[in-house]
């Protein structure tokens, strides 16, 4: 089975930096996703990490440590439009196209 | 390209009624999925399909059936709706062999069962 844990809610100030953590316990590991979901909308893909380290995409970065079962999503220069839920999901087996999702972190950005 | 589309967008059912949710994708993806999303529960997989003519159960399959007669379509059926099936339903698709295994989601169907 899989256990994916992330904070339920976080708040931050416009222009600041926020880090959203995700820890996982799985029988195997073959990749970790981050998705963004605005209220009332569908999730959209942000990042996919397979190897350890940091991957940067503009204001968003995603980090993975496979030995610690840990990932984080880093959002810089926060904007009001970044208010959304952020979903962490894990593929546990090679060849599996079935990720398991965590419950999501609701991020509220205030002025 | 329209990507992933879902029909209908909203629906209200009475307990015991049946309905079918339609998902269509125009990206020639092999894999398709049906999820439900409830407050505080994240996305939970109902059923999925790895190709035309094949389906498999996910985490919460009870009360649902699916069919994939054509590669581009994935149907989710509720034979006898129950209030516990009130939820937002998302369809998604993925290409086989893609570099990122990214899932593309439809806009969702908001279902209320009274």
Q: How far apart are CA B62 and CA B5, in angstroms?
A: 24
Please enumerate, as own/partner, the contacts of B39-44 that have beta carbons within 8 Å and a separation of 24 or more.
B40/A8, B40/A103, B41/A103, B42/A87, B42/A101, B42/A102, B42/A103, B42/A104, B43/A43, B43/A87, B43/A89, B43/A101, B43/B90, B44/A101
CA distance B62 to chain A (A): 18
**Is residue B13 a contact partner of residue B112, using CB atoms and an 8 Å limit?**
yes
CA distance B101 to chain A (A): 7
Q: Does the structure show a pLDDT above 70 at A94?
A: no
Could you tell me which residues come within 8 angstroms of residue A40 by beta carbon, excluding any fewer than 6 positions away? none
Q: How far apart are CA A83 and CA A80, in angstroms?
A: 6
Pair of tokens at residue B43: 């996305």
pLDDT at residue B101, as a whole number? 83
Helix ranges (H only) for chain A are none
Residue appearing with tokens 């509720």: B78
Cβ neighbours, 10 Å, residue B9? 11
Contacts of B108 in chain A (CB under 8 A): 41-42
Pair of tokens at residue B33: 């999925």
pLDDT at residue B27, as a whole number? 94
Residue B100 to residue A48, Cβ atoms within 8 A: yes
pLDDT in tens, B64-109: 999 999 999 999 999 999 999 999 999 999 988 777 789 999 999 9
pLDDT in tens, A68-80: 999 999 999 999 9
pLDDT in tens, A26-73: 888 889 999 999 999 999 999 999 999 999 999 999 999 999 999 999
Residue A48 to residue B108, Cβ atoms within 8 A: no
The mean of the pLDDT values for chain A is 93
| Of residues B40, B90, B106, nearest to A103 (C-beta) | B40
Q: How far apart are CA A50 and CA B113, in angstroms?
A: 40
Q: Does the structure show a pLDDT above 80 at B1?
A: no
Residues facing residue B27 across a β-bridge: none
pLDDT at residue A96, as a whole number? 67
Mutate to test the interface with B, among A42, A84, A85, A96 (most CBs of B within 10 A): A42
| Of residues B94, B96, B107, nearest to A42 (C-beta) | B107
Residue A97 to residue B107, Cβ atoms within 8 A: no
Residues facing residue A10 across a β-bridge: A107
């Amino acid at each position: 089975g899989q256990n994916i844990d992330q904070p339920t809610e976080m708040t931050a100030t416009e222009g600041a930096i926020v880090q959203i953590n995700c820890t996982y316990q799985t029988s195997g590991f073959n990749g970790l996703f981050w998705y963004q979901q605005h209220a009332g909308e569908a999730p959209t893909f942000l990042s996919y990490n397979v190897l350890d380290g940091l991957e940067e995409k503009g204001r968003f970065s995603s980090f993975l440590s496979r030995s610690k079962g840990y990932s984080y999503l880093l959002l810089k220069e926060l904007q009001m439009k970044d208010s959304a839920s952020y979903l962490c999901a894990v593929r546990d087996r090679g060849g599996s196209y079935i990720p398991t999702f965590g419950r999501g972190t609701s991020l509220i950005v205030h002025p | 390209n329209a990507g992933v589309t879902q029909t209908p967008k909203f629906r209200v059912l009475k307990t015991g009624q049946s309905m079918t949710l339609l998902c269509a994708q125009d990206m020639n993806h092999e894999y398709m999925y049906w999820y439900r999303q409830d407050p505080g529960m994240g996305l939970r997989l109902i059923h999925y399909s790895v190709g035309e003519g094949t389906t498999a159960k996910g985490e919460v399959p009870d009360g649902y059936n699916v069919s994939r007669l054509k590669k581009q379509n994935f149907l989710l059926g509720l034979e006898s709706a129950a209030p516990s099936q009130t939820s937002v339903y998302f369809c998604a698709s993925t290409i086989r062999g893609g570099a990122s295994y990214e899932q593309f989601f439809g806009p969702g169907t908001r279902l209320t069962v009274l």
